[in-house]
Amino acid sequence: MPRPLIVRKPRASSQIRIAGILAAARELLGEQGVAGLSIYNVAERAGIPPSSVYHFFASVPALLEGLTADIHSAFRACLEAPVEHSELCQWSDLSRLIEQRMLAIYAADAAARQLILAQHGLAEVTQADRQHDIELGQLMQALFDRHFPLPQLPDDVDVFALAMELGDRVYARSVQLHGEITPRMAEEGMRVFDAYLALYLPPHLPKRPD
């Protein structure tokens, strides 16, 4: 009988080393963009030998994939943060709250803007970002359904994930033009997000009971 596969978590010391590497990569990415990132300057910034970085991340794309997952954990946390049900009147109030939380992450994290919104041409990072968006879309749908009974949504389209991606396209345009998400473009991105959801959600969904 085959023995079951046991997946072991990294040891605490390894987790600390990985966190240090990702923190150094985040700083450099915010300062220099993707083009200026290398295993060697990440190692120098982290104060460790390059071989220690290679031990956990075999290449720059692998490092950026790890950083993408780290950045998305902040977006996941903003969806899991408490929402005051009594302050919601309609579903657009919830969508505005979520988008404002996500915009705050982008405003505070230059690495998030570089990886998710800037044009870097790295297919591995783009694919990782899309996979994380699917997970975030599922969490967002569950959050909406917690406060408003959702209608039947299509099975072949990730409505909430796609709404996020469409809003991000507007934010990306702002980053390309201005180096940041301006208040005007932030508002446009939120309008795009709401407009797409409105194709599937009626304007006056009843709230769930308190």
Which pLDDT score is estimated for 135? 92
More reliable by pLDDT, 35 or 104: 104
Whole-angstrom Cα Rg for the chain: 19
Per-range mean pLDDT, top range of 45-54, 89-98, 107-116, 121-130: 89-98
Phi-psi region of 179 (alpha: psi -120 to 50; beta: other; left: phi over 0): left
Which pLDDT score is estimated for 7? 44
- pLDDT tens digits, residue range 158-200? 999 999 999 999 999 999 999 899 999 999 999 999 999 999 9
Domains along the sequence of the chain with CATH: 7-58 (1.10.10.60), 61-210 (1.10.357)
Which pLDDT score is estimated for 32? 83
The backbone torsions φ and ψ at residue 147, rounded to the nearest 5 degrees and listed phi first, read: -105, -25
In this structure, are residues 117 and 170 in contact, taking their beta carbons and an 8 Å threshold? Answer: no
- pLDDT tens digits, residue range 10-69? 566 788 889 899 999 988 888 888 877 899 999 999 999 999 999 999 988 888 888 888
Which pTM value belongs to this model? 0.83
H helices of the chain, in order, are 12-32, 39-46, 50-56, 60-80, 91-108, 110-112, 123-147, 159-178, 183-197
Q: What is the DSSP letter of 7?
A: -
The SS3 of residue 200 is coil
The SS3 of residue 149 is coil
Which pLDDT score is estimated for 173? 95
